[in-house]
Amino acid sequence: MSDFEKLGAFYIGREYDPKADALSPEPLMYDSRDLTTHAVCVGMTGSGKTGLCISLLEEAALDGIPALVVDPKGDIANLMLTFPGLTPAEFRPWIDVGEAARKGVSPDDLAAKTAETWQKGLAEWGEDGERIQRFRESVDIAIYTPGSTAGLPLSILRSFAPPATGSALAGSDPAGTRDRISAAVSGLLGLVGITADPLKSREHILLSAIIDAAWSKGNALDLAGLIGAIQKPPFEKVGVFDVETFYPAKDRLELAMAIHNLLASPGFGVWLEGEALDIQRLLFTAEGKPRISIVSIAHLTDAERMFVVTLLLNELVAWMRRQSGTAALRALFYMDEICGYFPPTAMPSSKLPMLTLMKQARAFGLGVVLATQNPVDLDYKGLSNAGTWFIGRLQTERDQQRVIDGLSSALAGADFDRAMLEKLMAGISPRVFLMRKVSEDQPLLFRTRWALSYLRGPLTLPEITRLMEGRKSAAPAVPVATQATAPAARPVLPAGVQEVFLAAKPGAGELVYRPRLVATAELHYADKPAGVDAWTKVALLAPLGDSDGAPAWSEATAVPNLDSIVAAGPVDGAGFADLPAAALNAKNHADWGRSLATHLYQSGAVELLSCRTPKLTSNPGESEGDFRTRLAHALREYRDEQVAKLRERHAAKLRSLDDRLRGAQNRVAREQSQYSQRKLDTVINIGTSVLGAIFGGRSMATTRAGSAARSAGRVFGERGDVARAGESLETLTAERDGLLRQIEQEAGELTESLDPARIVRTRVSIAPRKSDIGIGRIAIAWEPWRTAADGFPRSASTL
């Protein structure tokens, strides 16, 4: 399968003939580019739906394509149960002791039996432990459990940050920003038990206005900031009504308390821990290796599930719009059960971003695969953009008719044969699926291949903990001050001096803001031979000097997304450390801006990676891992183009040879039939001539002997025709085999030339153009510090 894997074809099974109950000897290969038009998989429990979808994810990983997975039941976590040795010892830790007891065998015996079953199953489908090992080496797999520490925790705070600067949503797409705000607010209100209509609910309208006001200024909002803004909105009117008329303070306090109770609940702290909800890092490691990130939500309540799915989809839409357009498959989003998240009539908070993905993701190379075992509660019109339908065994005839009705609606205008679908669906057995692709005229039945992963069934939280035990990194060390400082009141800044407040993490202890200086700048990197002409924005956070108060730019920290860590204001009741007098002089800020420009010119050179083939150079500020990700996708696009040319170059000749082979096979069969008939005639004539000699006299014997001789001559002639037809068939078969070997050789050469490890990469150093350095905002940045139980303050910033 190696050539197919490298050429972007997914091995998903073999075609199935229900009449003969037989499988085709040839593997069924699914073009990865077909997934850019999305896929829907429908099948009852036990139909093999999970096995098929896990196989798709495995094939994508083998091709270097990452996936973001929402797992409502715990089944997809089985992707981490891969055992290249296929030994009983590998399976034993995951054997269900209760199942062994029910079968009357020991767990060790059941492990041995399971290992044997997996060995035979893989072998029957042309797979082995080596392919499992390649799968494990191709991708990094992680299980995230928001709201729990069983897997990797996932922080939801970043979801209330404004779109990243430079993204499609940052000012240039107000409709997209409104959709993102609306979905986030709906999810949050659902979490506190409020079902809100975005057009009629005053809770929804107020929260949307608050977040929009913060985002329009480039500020982030955490839940604590949102609670404060509910009590004291940053505006006086909502529409034409003043705030008090639209939503009185007493009622706003109730809403604030509802969200506060959520924030203050004992179990909510874990929602604020863990990795940020960063789609790029969920899809690729920092080194650029593809990932399968499984977001397990089986342990959550319905409201919490909806909240997580909504925020995840919002972030995915925002990430998608930051990508360049492409026809190649860049990444996959898979949801194992969409019942309740994509209903036909209702509009839950998850549906709007899911509709956006179905309509727009294709242009960015993002494939969406949705699965369900409930074909009734599904918006088929919303799924009309799905290019592939996988239909497995369904529970009732009503379910079959609902799917066919839905397909008829979704595929309106396409060639649709209802009677054929009904006939094919009637005999579907487990692991057999009907595949209907919009790009092809007729559907086909196929049986899914054996999964590389051990399909153990849903994993519990303790089992997920076992799997992820070695993946949880220790909490990062935080800077510690040598002594505590007495807090003072918030200083009053003169005109011309700006300030920002870094967001504070919730916690116990006295909160004190300490001053630093933040500055933004725009740099222009240009190098024609390297093909670089890029502008980039940077934000630096520098400490203020103890003596003169001047910022130490050489000790400054780069802040990747400043807007995401800036709060609307200070936390009520917090204290403030002393601010150097020099920082209160606006003229000094201008001088510090000029010194920053000099510092950036002298030390702002960037080292970029550059490739000759394909001609590609990393961008300033782009990590090597992200560049490797972009390079891999560029190679995949080039590969798809070359594969199309390879197919086009040989397709006509291969079709001609196939037609001639079929003709030769027909001639051999025809000549063989004629030879057999002549041979039978000859035997009869010879027998008749012998009888004639005995009973008919000399004349009759002579006549019949002549007839027998002529028949024998024709037999020899027919035998020659059979031999010549056979020689022609052998010649054509050899010619076709030679062409296939030539195609295989060309495919092998293509895959070797596209190996990222063989791509020559050089490093070039480029300094920013001095005349183009632009200094933007310079402001006092108040960083929150919290006094711990030992009396020493520690940073409480979300930085």
Could you read off the pLDDT of 241-267 as tens digits, one per residue?
A: 999 999 999 999 999 999 888 877 877
pLDDT for 282: 95
Q: Are 320 and 357 in contact (CB under 8 A)?
A: yes
How many angstroms separate the CA atoms of 323 and 360, rounded?
Answer: 12
The whole-number pLDDT of residue 438 equals 84
Nearest to 8, CA basis, from 757, 761, 739, 646: 646
581 within 8 A of 545, measured Cβ to Cβ: no
Q: Which tokens in the block code for residue 451?
A: 């999964």
Helices 129-138 and 107-124 cross at an angle (nearest 10°) of: 90
Q: Residue 3 above 50 pLDDT?
A: no
| Cα(283)–Cα(141) distance, integer angstroms | 10
In 330-350, which positions are buried (b, 16+ CB within 10 angstroms) versus exposed (e)?
bbbbbbbbbebbbbeeeebbb
Average pLDDT value for residue range 539-558: 86
469 compared with 446, residue with greater pLDDT: 446
Mean pLDDT of 115-131: 96
The per-residue pLDDT for range 623-634, each reduced to its tens digit, is 888 888 888 888
Is residue 296 helix, strand or coil?
strand
Residue 678 pLDDT class (50, 70, 90 cuts): low
Q: Which long-range contacts (CB under 8 A, 24 or more apart) does 678-683 make?
A: 678/711, 678/714, 678/715, 678/718, 679/715, 679/718, 681/711, 681/714, 682/708, 682/711, 682/712, 682/714, 682/715
Does the CA dihedral 9-12-18-21 come out positive or negative? positive
The band of 41, judged by pLDDT with boundaries at 50, 70 and 90, is very high
Span of 311-315, 397-401, 452-456, 770-774 with lowest mean pLDDT: 397-401
Higher confidence at residue 729 or residue 263?
Answer: 263
Kindly tell me if the per-residue pLDDT of 116 is higher than 50. Answer: yes
Nearest to 479 by CA among 139, 783, 74: 783
For tokens 């870094």, name the residue: 502
Residues 6+ apart with CB under 8 A from 102: none
Q: Dump pLDDT digits (tens) for 481-530.
A: 334 444 567 888 888 899 999 888 777 778 889 999 999 999 999 988 88
**Res. 713 pLDDT band, cuts 50 70 90:** low
Who's near 497: CB < 8 A, 6+ residues apart?
Answer: 583, 584, 585, 586, 589, 779, 780
* In the predicted structure, residue 54 carries a pLDDT above the cut 90: yes
| Start-to-end Cα distance in the chain | 46
Rounded Cα–Cα distance for residues 690 and 705 (Å): 8
Tell me which H or E stretch contains 182.
helix 174-191
Q: What is the dihedral of CA 640, 644, 645, 649, to 10 degrees?
A: 150
Q: What is the model's pLDDT at position 570?
A: 87
Contacts of residue 670, defined as CB under 8 A and 6 or more positions apart, other chains included, come to: none
Pairing of strands 9-17, 444-448: antiparallel
Average pLDDT over residues 430-446: 89
Question: Where residue 270 falls among pLDDT bands split at 50, 70, 90?
Answer: confident
* Look-up of token digits 């809403």: 255
Q: Which two tokens stand for residue 169?
A: 């949503």
